[in-house]
Structure 1
Amino acid sequence: MIDTIIFDFGDIFINLDKRATIDGLKKLGLSEWNEDLNHLNFSFEKGEISRENFLNGIQKHLPNASLNEIENAWNAVLLDFPLKRLEFLQKLSLKYRLFLLSNTDAIHIETFEQANGVSFYSDFYQCFEKVYFSFEIGMRKPDTEIYNYLVAQHGLIAKHTLFVDDKKENTDAAFSLGFNIWNLQVGEEDVTDLFDKKIISQ
């Protein structure tokens, strides 16, 4: 019996346009996303480097772009957060222990909060027993340490826990540790379809 659900954030609750950031950076002169930028992103997501060092690191690849232009392109990935998902989550929180576990960075979270306002994001965060952002805890999915950290912090039992994420490498890692999983297919499924998946009961 599942009594706990761990949710990803991006493309589960807030819609994303992952191409928009790449396209935005290319308009600023980036030839292609490369391994250096990948490493920079992962370091920022784990809180290992500051906002300034992150933006300056990207600027090295885009010498003609301003830091403000780079930040705007970086935030282009963030789209809307449908109210029906928040309402669904609020009902779910009455019956299940809920956690948020997201690979994200300080810029994206600050932008999300500013765009949606205190009332909305407070209502969202309050649905969860605890909210975990990778940049705050220094770990990121799919590294198994981050799942084990949640288990240890909250006394979770993997076989009684459902992990929901749109990235297969993340759900694969959770599955290997004994979690129930839902690898949500973006564009084909919605988090509000959870009961229809017959994984948990209403």
Structure 2
Amino acid sequence: MLYIFDLGNVIVDIDFNRVFGTWSDLTRVPLATLKQSFTMGEAFHQHERGEITDEAFAEAICHEMDLPLSYEQFSHGWQAIFVSLRPEVIEIMHKLREQGHRVVVLSNTNRLHTTFWPDEYPEIHAAADHVYLSQEMGMRKPEARIYQRVLEAEGFSAADTVFFDDNADNIEGANQLGITSILVTGKETIPRYFTKQLC
């Protein structure tokens, strides 16, 4: 079997409020104002596909949100999204590989974040056979082509694949291709799913 794991809130806890909190501290713009003005719009999607630079992304977001931040300040806040690793998921990934399954990560992420999490959480690369990142592939979930690319690269059919993600749109996109897709709603979702499989 092929097991595909998302990154944020699946393997690593993330929290956008930490980003807004850092930016608020740096600019004195109220936290509520930042939350209200932030959208995952075109610049966000372009950045995740690797179509624009980190600097262009920072500039676009600061412009959209009217944030007086330097690039360094923006980056500092952007990396604050990461909270901590979910060791129980890392353990499950290792067990799956020991049983002969293929285990990969598929994440909508961006170059700026990849300057942080691989060094901060080396356990992720150690637990996965391969890590697929949206900005390197030029596509992002829930686009059908990104799932198809992973299946082709791994040599598995949709019927022999299980996918874990915390985003309902991404789950729906994978479901439409016939991939067994599990919506991760909390830390207990994945351990509960594997309670019987890994006994």
User: Normalising by the residue count of structure 2, what TM-score does the alignment of the two structures yield?
Assistant: 0.85
- For 1:113 and 1:154, locate their aligned partners in 2 and report how far apart those are by CA, in whole Å: 22
Choose which of 78, 86, 90 in structure 2 pairs with 1:82. 86
Code of the aligned partner of 1:107: L
The answer as to 2:120 corresponding to 1:115 is: yes
Q: Is contact 2:104–2:132 with CA below 8 Å preserved after alignment? A: yes
1:65-104 paired onto structure 2 within 5 Å: 65-95=69-99, 96-104=101-109
CA deviation map 1:53-112 (0-9, x unaligned): 112222324452222221122122111113333223211211211111000011112111
1:128-139 paired onto structure 2 within 5 Å: 128-139=128-139
CA deviation map 1:135-183 (0-9, x unaligned): 1111100011101111222221111111111111111111111111111
Which residue matches 2:59? Answer: 56
Aligned pairs, how many? 191
Q: Which runs of 5+ in 1 are unaligned?
A: none
- For 2:186 and 2:22, locate their aligned partners in 1 and report how far apart those are by CA, in whole Å: 22
Q: SS in structure 2 opposite 1:79?
A: strand
How far residue 4 of structure 1 moved from its aligned partner, in angstroms, is 1.3
Q: SS in structure 2 opposite 1:100?
A: strand
CA deviation map 1:22-53 (0-9, x unaligned): 34445533653355x62111111110011121
- For 1:88 and 1:154, locate their aligned partners in 2 and report how far apart those are by CA, in whole Å: 20
- For 1:146 and 1:12, locate their aligned partners in 2 and report how far apart those are by CA, in whole Å: 18
Code of the aligned partner of 2:193: L
User: Normalising by the residue count of structure 1, what TM-score does the alignment of the two structures yield?
Assistant: 0.84
Code of the aligned partner of 2:117: F
Which residue matches 1:16? Answer: 14
The answer as to 2:191 corresponding to 1:192 is: yes
Residue identity over aligned pairs, in percent, reads: 25
1:103-182 paired onto structure 2 within 5 Å: 103-116=108-121, 121=122, 123-182=123-182
- For 1:41 and 1:25, locate their aligned partners in 2 and report how far apart those are by CA, in whole Å: 17
